[in-house]
Structure 1
Amino acid sequence: MTTKKELKQLYEESFARESIRQNQIVEGRVIQVEDEGVLIDIGYKVEGIIPKGEFREPPKAGEKISAYVVKREGEEGLILLSKKRAEETIIWQTLSEAYEKQKLLEGTVKKRVKGGLMVDVGWEGFLPGSHLDLFPRYNLEEFIGKKIKVRIIKFDRKRKNLVLSRKVILEDERAKVKERIFSQTQVGDILKGRVKSLTIFGAFIDLGGFDGLIHIKDISYAHLRHPSEILSLGEEVEVLVLALDKEREKISLGLKQLRKDPWEEAEKKYPPGSIVEGKITTLTEYGAFVELEEGLEGLLHVSRVSCSSYLEKPSSILKAGEKIRVKILNVDSQNQRMTLDRRSLLWKEMEKKHPIGSKVKGRITGITRFGAFLKLEEGLEGLIHISDLSWKERVSHPSRIVKEGEEYESMVLDINPEEEKISLGLKQLAPDPYEKFKEERCLKVRVIDIAPFGVFVELEKGIEGLIHISQLAKRRVESCEDVVSPGEEVMAKIIKVDRKKRKIALSIKEYLLDKETEEMKEYMGSEKEAKTSLRDLMEKERR
């Protein structure tokens, strides 16, 4: 006899059988695997069958399976089921619930497609590139194979179309962090963060889900061209909160404010006149900025860069990054300005670099009536005075000896660091021809010009001398033409040589007197010898 409990179970099973309908998901157990398919017991008067091709591997008897009712009664009275459609239906039900309740889903990035990525969240959905992050991402391939959290923002079950977003999750997280940071943080607080990105105007610091900006001027006291000179991506830093703007959602941060300003002690540390070494950071048309230490720069004006105050561009002799010695001229800590000098140091070193008497080469850069300027190096010129161009020639203008733009060798005659002048000589490279003309020397000269006061004569080519009218003859001479004529060669004696003034004085009169004296000596010497010989003969006869 059937018990009450058994009748209730039969009733429920009968109700279940009647409730099985098309397009529903049922639970069952594997009975057996046949060639036609896999038989499933779903608690109905007939079994269900799932095509064998829907299984990657044959299931085992007794294994529980969820199946989708495709057709209530198929061939041979079996109910046609689908494991694949059941799984798909369950997935879409889960996705539908996630979309309606805006739940987070974890998915795996499968591949890149045009405009974004395909992400598997049980079903492949499209993640637009614009919804990948809070800021534009250009290398989408780096996400392939990674697991990410997303939210469904568009859902179309009929077309089986999903559009996903990671950005909305990050925005929610960012909003929570922002609220926490703005409510708990005050100006002057020190926070820890990580360098997230670097731009030409500053560095963005991740404060734990919300970014703050360190403007480039607040990174260092030094002049920076780019934040990467100090910071690197991923670096952990401590920063000072400079400003909070909740309405605009901005936090201004500072890095240099956590260190002491080097300008505070600059006047004590670098008194005027001190000589220090610095590194050139920037070159401009008006000068060079030299860093003495981090955050402390001085201006080396173009007029103080080289030995010359007429240098056109500092970049012609200096390079960024180069280390140089400079002299402190002035320090203004209040206005953060420092004036430097290099020119005076170079002039002090000049005597070692170009000692007096040394030979130098250079090109003629300018010619004036009083001399020519020779360029020794960039920013340094020396003057060859007109009097130092030639030993012999009377130079009326320097252009007769040197040409602008041509290279010449010269000798360093003098260096005056105080007046910043270098004197050079061209003629000093050859021996002074006046050296061989000594006083008392007698030589033949040629008359080249006659003046009322005397006669100009040529000792050799390029060397001239003067015979004063009083020195033309032993007698008084009224006119020079009475004694000599142009082109005539005469013998004369050098009576005075002034090498500084390049003057030689000669005398025909002195030559003639010397000659007479010599002849007299010769005559007197011969007469004495004759008398001596006669006396000797007479003494011999007496004996």
Structure 2
Amino acid sequence: MPDSNVPELSAPDLAAVEPVESFSDILSQFEKNQVRKSDDGSRQIDATLVALTAESALFDIGFKTEGILPLAAFAGKEIKVGDHFQVSVKGRDAEGYYELSLLKVVQPKDWSLLEQAFNDKEAVLGTITAVVKGGLTVDIGTRAFMPASRSGARDAAEMAKLIGQQVRVRIIKLEVAEEDVVVDRRVLAEEEERVTKERRYSEVREGDVVQGVVRSLADYGAFVDLGGVDGLLHVSDIAWSRVANPADVLAVGQTVEVKVLKIDPEKKRISLGLKQLQPQPWDSVPDKYKTGERVRGPVTRLTEFGAFVELEPGVEGLIHLSEMSWAKKVHKPGDIFKQGEIVEAVILGIKLEERRISLGFKQLLTDPWAEAAQRLGPGSVVEGPVTSFTKFGAFIQVAEGLEGMVHISEITAEMRLHHPQEALKVGEVVKAQVLELDKEKRQLKLSIKQLTPISVDEYFAEHKSGDIVTGRVIEIADGLARVELGEGIYGESTVPQTSQSALSVTAGAKADLSSLTSMLQARWKGSSPAATPVPKLAEGHIRSFRIKTLDASTRIIQLTLN
């Protein structure tokens, strides 16, 4: 029964009080109010995935209209219709869908909340809306500016890709009166990285075997990301073999398994090793290599003192300069070898403690001294060019890699030389007689004068020890007198304090040289002039001497004053 106190309305009156909005509009407005009143970005809603498109996922969130999330928000995770997710509502897009977020981050809706987030240094959620001069604009409930340097993007192209993306930022400047808000995205990433690095650093221990990704390469090694903290893999610890450039072995982005060699707590540095996970090649050297064996490998390095040859990765041998050639003196390894060249050598010695292997190259060649010892005995005659001089003699090349020395006293018997160059010159081809060959010392003594026919042969044939001869003193030095007994014939005599006998002039007088030849010939035939005492012996004197020693093999004549 209708209430009598309520006036009855006619049809026109009912039409007058009908709501002007449809139910659909009222429901839509209600949902908006619900979002505005109940959702500050922190309330989580259980959402059910109902549909997938090429770029987005649609969710039933209990409202009239579905919520939407870009597929990129799932970071490649596989999802399917019917999956449930906890989401937050950010607002609505141009098509009427509710924009959702998987993050539970405070998104201020008024200045009081912005001030609180600024004071507490809390992260707030924002959407990058545009690229502007010097940076980006971000919607955090009000328009904010993010400098390019604090965006985390490396260039303008990366900044452009951020438009439309939801990001976490920190308010670093807030002036309410001027509505000036500046936000920083990079500081949050740096803080997260620092926390991750500290955590990871505390987890790593020396001796651990860990996996990492090569982050960058340098001449001295590679930096490896161990999951938030970097370690240095030095070039010397990449492989047992010599690595010239880390890029020859590693590549950026490559996953590697390494060993933690050392941790520096003060500098927070981690040293890594890759070769330490491989067997040490020197451990097998005693079983693989023996002295006297032939080996083969590439020349890896040339130094001032020799060439290094790789026998296997991590094992090298050294060919010293002195072991490169029998034939010539090698001044630098580059004269014989080239880097990278494959060579053969003989193992001369192995020192395991020092990890050294000595190699020889010349041992694969014919030793000219071994051959010379068989064919060049004393008395043999050789021929070759003069190669060099010293103060005491000249060197003659007898064969390839074989030189002999002619002492200055064995160059000529016709005159006393002060330097070999007075009689010889470099390049001059001469004949010489072998006096001695020492294979062990690699010495060959030669004589040129032994092959030179002189009148001394006749002199030796006609004289013997004890004969009295006449000669002219041509030089006195160190208590010895050099005496000319004939043309090209010389003897030596000690100089007494006073003369026992003499022939010719007194000291300081000029000798009658015109009669010297006839006098000497007469003395050779046995005649002897009368002796008269004279004072002290001097250069230029013609005297009578007795032959003390007469050695035809060495052509040495020793005299005593008669």
User: More helix per residue: 1 or 2?
Assistant: 1
TM-score by length of 2: 0.46
